[in-house]
């Protein structure tokens, strides 16, 4: 499970940063990609990062401001140029359905695959299958904005192959039964218990991707005990009043949320265009004064969860 930041700028793109978009790479876990926010030129950034539109399964938007939204029509319609595409689920605040219907209508575009739209109006669980679940809570921004908590369910234990070999057990036809922890009888008459050859349950990973917001309790709850927390840090702390007026957070405020949530790791993004990449060290070091395990994202950077 990896996070690749396709865009890390706030408001508008710069020569160094595109606007907001993050890929959650689940190719190893489920052969699919999940996209969080979709600022303009997201599909170009996906090409640079060598991600295929065909692998998109889920698109989640935090809110409907243009720097998080304007790349969506291109992503959806370009995907329609590919043959036999699978369905995509789009989760976003209320209004996204009207946006999609309007932009496809006036541009004479169409989609060749099912687009399942879930409009957010309240907190709750918005996705769940045998591997993952996603919870949303409304944050505090100038427009309705939601944060996402992605939970990987505990992974079943794997068979201890080395121990089986040590005990001269050929697992070929017995693999499935042993993996289920069942007792089986071997050809030589031995009866073995599959539970004796199973490793430990692998705890699922937890991730929070938070949209534009001032510091709020919902952010703390979504990020509680997460392995990785992604939080906006639009301004340096000296510009706290400016950030508050525009519904944003500072480096120190993001770090404070991570500390209060007992997150293991913080990645800050959504950086104001006033800062160049040369300012990254200053910004991340400011956050580290509160939360030591802080990193700052730049475009096309990948972080393992």
Q: What is the pLDDT of residue 190?
A: 87
Catalytic residue (one of 67, 154, 162, 225): 67
Q: What is the pLDDT of residue 158?
A: 84
In which element (H, E) is residue 93 found?
strand 88-93
From 144, 179, 197, the end of a domain falls on 197
Higher pLDDT, 83 or 16: 16
Query: Per residue in 42-55, pLDDT tens?
Result: 999 999 999 999 99
Given a cut of 80, whether residue 173 has pLDDT beyond it is no
Average pLDDT over residues 153-169: 86
CATH of the domain at 271: 3.60.15.10
Q: CA 153 → CA 128, 130, 199, 205, 253, distances in Å?
A: 10, 7, 17, 8, 30
Query: Per residue in 245-291, pLDDT tens?
Result: 999 999 999 999 999 999 999 999 999 999 999 999 999 999 999 99
Confidence class for position 196, pLDDT limits 50, 70, 90: confident
Query: Per residue in 217-231, pLDDT tens?
Result: 999 999 999 999 999
Q: Are residues 10 and 52 in the same domain?
A: yes
Q: Are residues 178 and 120 in the same domain?
A: no
Confidence class for position 181, pLDDT limits 50, 70, 90: confident
From 197, 222, 254, the end of a domain falls on 197
Q: Is 67 among the catalytic positions? A: yes
Q: Residue 167 is part of which domain span?
A: 161-197
Given a cut of 80, whether residue 172 has pLDDT beyond it is no
SS3 at position 277:
helix
Q: What is the pLDDT of residue 136?
A: 98
Q: Are residues 77 and 129 in the same domain?
A: yes
Confidence class for position 157, pLDDT limits 50, 70, 90: confident
Average pLDDT over residues 69-84: 95
Average pLDDT, the chain: 95
Given a cut of 80, whether residue 175 has pLDDT beyond it is no
Q: Are residues 116 and 192 in the same domain?
A: no
Q: What is the pLDDT of residue 73?
A: 98
Q: Are residues 53 and 145 in the same domain?
A: yes
Average pLDDT over residues 138-142: 98
Q: Are residues 236 and 255 in the same domain?
A: yes
Q: What is the pLDDT of residue 118?
A: 98
Given a cut of 90, whether residue 170 has pLDDT beyond it is no
Given a cut of 80, whether residue 171 has pLDDT beyond it is no
Phi, psi of 104 (to 5 degrees): -70, -35
Q: What is the pLDDT of residue 200?
A: 86
Q: Are residues 146 and 166 in the same domain?
A: no
> End-to-end alpha-carbon separation of the chain, Å?
6
Q: CA 27 → CA 31, 33, 179, distances in Å?
A: 4, 6, 23
Q: What is the pLDDT of residue 91?
A: 98
Please state the pTM of the whole predicted model: 0.91
Q: Are residues 269 and 229 in the same domain?
A: yes
CB 211 within 8 A of CB 289: no
**Full 3-state SS string of 19-49:** ECEEEEEEHHHHCEEEEECCCCCHHHHHHHC
Share of the chain above pLDDT 70, in %: 100
Q: How many domains does the chain have?
A: 2
From 171, 197, 223, the end of a domain falls on 197
Q: What is the pLDDT of residue 39?
A: 98
Q: What is the pLDDT of residue 195?
A: 87
Helices (H), the chain: 27-30, 42-48, 72-79, 96-106, 161-166, 175-179, 217-223, 240-245, 251-261, 280-288
Q: What is the pLDDT of residue 199?
A: 85
Confidence class for position 26, pLDDT limits 50, 70, 90: very high
Given a cut of 80, whether residue 186 has pLDDT beyond it is yes
Confidence class for position 69, pLDDT limits 50, 70, 90: very high
Share of the chain above pLDDT 90, in %: 84
Q: Are residues 229 and 144 in the same domain?
A: yes
Q: Are residues 256 and 167 in the same domain?
A: no
Burial-class residue 275 by CB neighbours within 10 Å (0-12, 13-18, 19+): buried
How far is residue 72's CA from residue 66's CA, in Å, rounded to a whole number? 10
Q: Are residues 189 and 228 in the same domain?
A: no
Q: Are residues 74 and 167 in the same domain?
A: no
């Amino acid at each position: 499970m990896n996070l690749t930041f396709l865009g890390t700028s706030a408001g508008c793109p710069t020569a160094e940063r595109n606007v907001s978009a993050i890929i959650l790479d689940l190719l190893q876990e489920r052969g699919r990609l999940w996209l969080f926010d979709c600022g303009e030129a997201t599909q170009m950034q996906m090409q640079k990062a060598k991600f295929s539109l065909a692998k998109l399964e889920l698109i989640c938007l935090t809110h409907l401001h243009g720097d998080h939204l304007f790349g969506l029509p291109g992503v959806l319609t370009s995907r329609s140029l590919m043959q036999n595409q699978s369905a995509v689920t789009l989760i976003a605040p209320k209004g996204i359905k009207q946006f999609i219907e309007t932009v496809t209508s006036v541009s004479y575009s169409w989609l060749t695959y099912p687009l399942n739209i879930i409009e957010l109006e309240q907190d709750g669980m918005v996705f769940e299958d045998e591997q993952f679940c996603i919870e949303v809570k409304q944050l505090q921004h100038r427009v309705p904005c939601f944060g996402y908590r992605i939970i990987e369910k505990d992974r079943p234990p794997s068979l201890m192959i080395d121990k089986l070999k040590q005990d001269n057990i050929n697992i070929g036809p017995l693999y499935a039964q042993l993996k289920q922890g069942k007792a089986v009888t071997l050809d030589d008459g031995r009866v073995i218990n599959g539970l004796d050859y199973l490793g430990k349950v692998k705890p699922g990973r937890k991730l929070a991707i938070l949209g534009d917001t001032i510091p709020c309790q919902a952010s703390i709850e979504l990020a509680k005990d997460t392995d990785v927390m992604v939080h906006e840090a639009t301004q340096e702390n000296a510009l706290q009043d400016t950030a508050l007026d525009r519904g944003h957070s500072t480096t120190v405020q993001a770090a404070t949320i991570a500390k209060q949530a007992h997150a293991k790791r913080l990645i800050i993004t959504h950086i104001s265009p006033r800062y160049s990449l040369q300012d990254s060290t200053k910004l991340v070091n400011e956050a580290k004064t509160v939360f030591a395990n802080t990193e700052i994202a730049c475009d096309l950077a990948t972080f393992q969860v």
